[in-house]
Structures are given as C-alpha cells and as structure tokens.
Amino acid sequence: MRRSHTGARGTCSWSSARSEARPGQAAAPARSTCAARCPWGAAGASHEEDARGEAPRHVWDLPQVRRDRVVPALELPHHGRVAAVPLLRAEPHVTPAEARSMFPVLERSAYLNAGSVGPLSRHTFEAMQAAEAAALAGGRGAASVWEAAFATEEKLRERIAAQIGVSVDKLLLTTSTTEGCNIVVTGLRLSPEDEVVTTDGEHPGLLMPLLASGAQIKKARVMERPAALALQAVLDEITPRTRLVALSHVLWLNGHVLPLADIKRETGLPLLVDGAQSVGAIPVDAAVADWYTVSGQKWL
C-alpha cells in the first residue's frame, strides 16, 4: 500500500483540497512525488516483439486489461515514467517465453484466473522453501533472522515503489489490499454526517470498510456504462459533504479502467484506490492518488 496518510504528503488533504476545488471544477493536480523509478530502459527504448509477432506499440494503444496472459505486463513497453515490468526479476529484458517458464502450471494448462489468486512461480516456491529450511535449521528468533527479514523487506519496498511510481518512504507493507483499505478508512474517522463516493462495482475488500465507517455511502453507477463515462458518474454523486472518493483502478467484475487522474483533478477530494487488479497488469502511477493499495498475490 502506498502510504501518504501517515505523513507522506504532510497534512490531511481534504480540507485544503476542498477549499481549492468544488465538484466539477478543476483543481491543480498534486505534484508528483515519484522519486524511485526503474533504472533500466528509458521511454522509447527497443523491446521484444509481442506474442503475436507484431511490432511493439505505445502502451496506451494496447488493451488496458489483458485477461489472456498470466504476466501481461511483461509484454507492455515501458510507459514514459513508470516501467511496466513485474517484480519477478531485476533483469530489464524478460521475454514472454522466459516469463512462461517461471510458472510450471503453464506446461499443462492455460491459467486464466490470475485476477483471483495468481499461479505460483518457481522463484516464489524456491524462496519459500529456502525460508522454511533456514527456520528449521537455525530457528526463527535470533537477531540475525530479524536483521535479514528487515533487509528483505527494504528491498521489496524499493522494488514495489519503483513499480508503482512512488518513493520508498511513502510505501507501507500490509498483509492484504483489504487491510490497507481498512487502515485508511479507519484513520479518517468518518462520521454519519460525512459522505463517501464509491462505485457499484467494488470488491468487498473496499466496500466493507466503507460500510463499517458509519459514513453515508453513495455509489456511482458505472457497471452498465462505458468506462469513458465513469468520470461523470462519479461527479454526479459529489456533494459539499463528500469527504472521500474510494474506488478501484480496474473494476474486478468487468475489467473497466477508471480515470483516476481525471477523478482526482475534477473533484479535488482525497482519493483511496483499490489497486488489486491493476498493478502488474497495466502501467500504474500511484502518485495520482492519496492512498493506493496493492495486492501481491495477483498480477505481481
């Protein structure tokens, strides 16, 4: 989860944002705080041809949601600012064939459900085995064990931060996307007089914390509309009592990609994003949101 609610952007953003913008009016977009970028491959660098043998195109010309690949981001060229490369390896050039070889399940099946629980890679399995073997041989309570764990966590935070376009100091590790959403919603201390705008296509991992907050929940009707009309659907639900906009980057029910930057700019409100179906599947710049939660067991 990208952490800005604990000091990453200084003071709480809704009071200043609401004074600068009202629904339907454009507010100055938040300054990008991205400090960590993938060091390899500048924009426009050469890339492998995709699985269809076609020359690579600009990332925005490609389908936004790729349901037919286990590691779809491997086939996308780098966007200008955020490298659309998963965290499986540090090497800059990983071909689709190399990516497939990491997942033994693909030797027998076409795995189409990475949006639920992604398949286990060889690298992940080997790392799990190594950790269990070390615990069996040396125990789990020594200072060296904790030191090694902290070092591993720091490396992980660096790689995730580079993947989603934020600096390391603004990234917090949680146990799940749901926990990240809970932390944010609970920390905002919403009241029954407050309103939260979400959509009618949200996963329970985001929706349940909102319902438990005590605030009034307003759902923008986006499921039966084209993704291009989602912005107006959200704006239609904004009132002077709205304290939070909380929604998914990619809707888990139909794969629609919501226009986060436009929503943030037009509302000027704090924005909490459920990024469980986006990171690793499409290029992501999490700095556009105030809080951006990420799932590790899906597309990554």
For residue 91, the tally of other CB atoms under 10 A from its CB is 9
Q: What share of the chain is helix, strand, coil (3-state, %, to 5)?
A: 35, 10, 55
| Tokens coding 57 | 């195109």
CB 277 within 8 A of CB 251: yes
Strands (E), 175-228: 195-199, 216-220
In 3-state terms, what secondary structure has residue 292? strand
CB 94 within 8 A of CB 40: no
Q: Is the pLDDT of residue 17 over 90?
A: no
Encode pLDDT of 79-126 as tens digits: 333 333 344 444 557 888 998 999 999 999 888 777 787 788 999 999
Apex CA 98: angle with CA 94 and CA 102, to 5°? 115
Whole-number pLDDT of residue 93:
72
Q: Could you give the domains of the chain?
A: 13-35+171-293 (3.40.640.10)
Q: Is the pLDDT of residue 264 over 90?
A: yes
Whole-number pLDDT of residue 117:
79
Backbone dihedral region of 214: left (phi > 0), alpha (psi from -120 to 50 degrees) or beta? left
pTM for this entry: 0.68
d(CA 226, CA 251): 12
The dihedral over CA atoms of 292, 293, 297, 300, expressed in degrees to the nearest 10, equals 10
Tell me which of 36-50, 157-171, 228-242 is least confident.
36-50
Q: Which amino acid is at 36?
A: A
What does the mean pLDDT of the chain come to? 77
CB 277 within 8 A of CB 252: yes
Q: Distances from the Cα of 2 to the Cαs of 154, 171, 187, 206, 291, in angstroms?
A: 14, 4, 15, 15, 6
The helix or strand, by DSSP H or E, that contains position 216, with its residue range, turns out to be strand 216-220
In 3-state terms, what secondary structure has residue 198? strand
